[in-house]
Amino acid sequence: MAGILTADIDAPPAATLGIIPSLASVLGAIPGLVDVWRIDPARIARDGDSRVSAWTGSIAGRQFTQANALRRPLYVAPGRVDFGTGAAARATMQLAGTPLGQPASASIGLRLVLAAEDETTDNQSFAGQDLDTTGTGLVRLAWRYNAAGMGNYIRLQIGAAQRDVDLPAGVTDAMVWLTIQSGEVWLNVNGTAAASAIAAATLNLPGFAIGGSREGTPAFAGSLTGICIAQSALTPTQRAAAEWAMRHSV
């Protein structure tokens, strides 16, 4: 018939046209995903003082927990879990369930925020293994302070080995990633990688904590807004999705 146009569209087999995948589907497709923890009031269990006893992941339901009310961080609406002001002394939470162990490949991401008055406290541990004891097997991420106007830096420490990534002066918002791949552990902060890796052979995570501190060093004074843990090295698309989830509350 006159006036009717037709066209053939060639698409790959099983292609889906015009559908944008959801955030949950992108995150859920990450190989070996342990979970992604977001600021979602429905998944943050609090006591009567708004201190957090359990933080449940949004994909697999894994939890960070703290049974001791004297070590719980504070939930601050609308968007953070505060380990500093208003929280219990040396607030910390432990990953419950199957240990991470010694993964051949893994990604661990955290977004931390410090208030301006808290950035000048040096050596604040905010995540890792063996953070609140004086035993062996230390794996930690720490906030380090230089001096006024000189910027700060994030440190990865595995046993005696250390790697740092500098932050510009005044920057108190950090997206921190550990990537374990091909026998190496890389630290990346706000898109900048450390100058070199640490050998993964000495890394072991029978436990994994957020917040906390080794005795005799400062407790974490800042907040976390999200965490992502996977037993795989994330692609750029997967990392971007995880970072969006960690920056935005539900």
CATH number at 176 reads 2.60.120.200
- Specify the pLDDT at position 4: 46
Please report the pLDDT score of residue 113 as a whole number: 94
Is 7 within the bounds of a domain?
Answer: no
Helix (H) or strand (E) holding 27: helix 23-28
240 falls within a domain: yes
Pairwise CA distance, residues 64 & 57, whole Å: 8
84 within a domain of the structure (yes/no): yes
Q: How many domains does the chain have?
A: 1
In a domain, 65, yes or no: yes
Rounded CA separation 218/160 (Å): 19
Q: Is residue 72 part of a domain?
A: yes
Give the per-residue pLDDT at 212: 76
Tell whether 41 is covered by a domain: yes
Residue-level pLDDT at 117 = 84
pLDDT of residue 193: 96
* Rounded-to-integer distance, Cα 68 and Cα 150, Å: 38
Residue 6 confidence (pLDDT): 45
Task: Single out the residue of 100, 90, 165 nearest to residue 137, CA to CA.
Answer: 100
- Residue 249 DSSP one-character state: -
Low-confidence ranges of the chain (pLDDT < 70): 1-19, 85-89, 132-136, 147-150, 213-216
- Could you tell me if residue 10 is inside a domain? no
pLDDT at 26: 86
pLDDT for 15: 46
List, in order, residues 6 or more apart from 141 with CB less than 8 Å away: 110, 125, 126, 127, 128, 154, 155, 156, 157, 176, 178
Residue 33 lies in a domain: yes
**127: containing domain:** 23-247
